[in-house]
Amino acid sequence: MKKIILLTLACLQFLSFYAFAQFTIGVIPDTQKLTSSEFGDPDELFERMKDIARWYADHKEELNIVFVTHLGDMTEDKDVAIQWQRNIEAWQILINAGIPFAPCQGNQYPNLDFRCLAQSHFSFWLKKL
């Protein structure tokens, strides 16, 4: 009887490794400095931003990436359209790869809250994803 119990426990332990598949949640830190020409060549900075998204897209299968989140500010200047457009284009790479993506509003947008989110730049630009 002891052997059957031990064998059963061993089988359950073995199967549990397969029941709970391993996956990866990607994290992209604050990208505000990659959107503004104030911090270098805007094309080079923008390319770096797209490289981040491409890396996740390229490693989606290998790492079983199921979700990517952005932490921190997305733009240096919340009212500059090109900075938002760069974000949208870069993060569209994730969406095209079938990776769910969620941005964070960051602290650059202090007037954002749930009551005014629909009227904000953050909401306006992210609707384009």
The domain that holds 77 is classified in CATH as 3.60.21.10
CA angle 12, 25, 21 (to 5 degrees): 15
Q: Please state, in angstroms and rounded to a whole number, the distance separating the CA atoms of residues 35 and 89.
A: 11
Domain containing 55 equals: 23-126
Domain membership of residue 115 (yes or no) is yes
Nearest by Cα to 28 from 45, 51, 44, 62:
51
3-class secondary structure, 68: strand
Task: Give pLDDT tens digits for 74-118.
Answer: 888 877 888 888 888 998 999 999 999 888 766 665 555 544 444
7-32 average pLDDT score: 69
Domain membership of residue 11 (yes or no) is no
Show the tokens assigned to 56.
């996740």
Domain membership of residue 16 (yes or no) is no
The radius of gyration of the chain's CA atoms, rounded to the nearest angstrom, is 21
Domain membership of residue 6 (yes or no) is no
Domain membership of residue 3 (yes or no) is no
Domain membership of residue 114 (yes or no) is yes
25-41 average pLDDT score: 86
Total of domains in the chain: 1
Domain membership of residue 47 (yes or no) is yes
Domain membership of residue 8 (yes or no) is no
Sorting pLDDT into bands at 50, 70 and 90, what band is 129? low
